[in-house]
Amino acid sequence: MPTERDHAIRLLEVHKSFGDITAVDGLTLEVGRGVCLGLLGPNGAGKSTTMRMLTGQAIPDSGTIEVLGLPVPRRSKQARARMGVVPQQDNLNTELTCEQELRVWATLQRIPRARRGAAIDAALELANLTARRHSRVSELSGGMRRRLLIARGLVHDPELVLLDEPTVGLDPQVRAELWSLISGLRDQGVTVLMSTHYIEEAERLADDVAVVNHGRVIARGTPAQLLAAHAGEVAREFWGPPHVLVEVESAAAAHGLPTRRTGPTVAVLRAESAPEELYDKVGDGIARAANLEDVFVLLTGERLDS
């Protein structure tokens, strides 16, 4: 059985509301050390609020939070010293150079002066920004600024890294570059908690995925486990007017197969186990691999950006 020392993060029945809005509703979550856990959910699911509570920036209304064995918010200062935080919003100082930004952060994190230069060099190299060390932040592209944010969060060699929507708003090429950087952290054994609403990001980077909606975890497992439990291996897409889609849904339900509706299409999930008589009735459709979006839509009725 896992012990407290095996967990980098523990949340138990955590609630947080802002006026009449419930952001986090009884969230219970444990993250093992050395694991990359993806918090997968749409905007407004409570992911960012959870991140803010883990860093002590937001205080839970009730429940228990421990980070690296330390109770938060009571000992959030000590916990913050041992974690790296990469916020969703860019809060870099645009008047500083990359090196200066990291030097300020290294000083705030109390890295000894004798080790500060080497720590900055390592962070710049990790983020592939060594050649831009003397460039002002204002001169950097959006992707470079995100890499600098990650470098800043890693300059003090933290045990735990929190990534809040690390690639939101970036083009696919830059997103892929950041995925390589995040994958490198995972390979080094750093514990990573990454919130995202990108399906492919969770599939590629996370060892474990917690699907979050309306402030609570509604499913958890590896991507393969979630697919096996909820969507199977194959989905078949059917197009047509509403009455045709209803016919497909009814036929699938009669054989115990789940479906998901997306605009003018309906997908029959677990299609690998469908009997031939189903296809005799509604046609073959188009086969594709089932994915985590199928799982999320099936569980919540909401779509994620992909």
Give residue-wise pLDDT tens across range 189-204. Answer: 899 999 988 888 888 8
Structural domains of the chain in order of their starting residue, each with its CATH number? 1-82+160-229 (3.40.50.300), 89-158 (no CATH), 232-290 (3.30.70)
Tokens representing 6 are 């095996």
Contact status, residue 54 vs residue 14, Cβ threshold 8 Å: no
Q: What is the pLDDT of residue 2?
A: 42
Report d(CA 52, CA 247) in Å as an integer. 46
Rg of the Cα atoms in the chain: 22
Q: What is the pLDDT of residue 306?
A: 45
Contact status, residue 25 vs residue 11, Cβ threshold 8 Å: no
Is the peptide bond preceding residue 241 cis, with omega within 30 degrees of 0?
no
Pairing assessment for the beta strands 265-268 and 191-196 based on DSSP bridges:
unpaired
The number of residues making up the chain comes to 306
The 62-67 sheet, strands edge to edge: 21-32, 7-18, 62-67, 70-71
Q: What is the pLDDT of residue 200?
A: 86
Q: What is the pLDDT of residue 303?
A: 58
Q: How far is CA 201 from the centre of its chain?
A: 7
The low-confidence residues of the chain, meaning pLDDT below 50, are 1-3, 306
Q: What is the pLDDT of residue 171?
A: 84
- Reported for 246-249, long-range contacts at CB under 8 A and 24+ positions apart, including other chains, are 247/281, 247/282, 248/282, 248/285
Tokens representing 112 are 């000894």
Residue 64 identity (one-letter amino acid): T
pLDDT digits (tens, 9 = 90+) for 57-100: 999 999 999 999 999 999 999 999 999 999 988 999 999 999 99
Q: How far is CA 61 from the centre of its chain?
A: 24
Query: Residue 118 burial (CB < 10 Å; 0-12/13-18/19+)?
Result: exposed
Q: Crossing angle for the helix pair 142-154 and 98-108, nearest 10 degrees?
A: 30
Contact status, residue 180 vs residue 121, Cβ threshold 8 Å: no
